[in-house]
Amino acid sequence: MTERHNNIIWHHATVTQVRRETMNGHKAVNLWFTGLSGSGKSTLAHAVEERLHQIGCRTFVFDGDNVRHGLCSDLGFSEKDRSENIRRIGEMVNLFLQSGIIALTAFISPLKQDREKVRTIIGTDNFLEIHCACSLEICEHRDVKGLYKKARAGIIKNYTGISSPYEAPANPDLCLDTGLLPLQTCVEKVISCLYKKQILSSLLEKKALPD
Please give the Cα distance from 47 to 186 (Å, whole number): 9
Q: For residue 50, which amino acid is it?
A: E
Active site residue 83: no
The residue from 37, 42, 109, 164 that is catalytic is 109
| Three-state secondary structure call for residue 145 | coil
Q: Which residues are paired to 175 by β-bridges?
A: 131
Please give the Cα distance from 153 to 87 (Å, whole number): 30
Q: Which residues contact 95 (CB under 8 A, 6 or more apart)?
A: none
Measured CA distances, 185 to 198, 207, 209 (Å): 20, 23, 22
What positions carry a catalytic annotation?
109
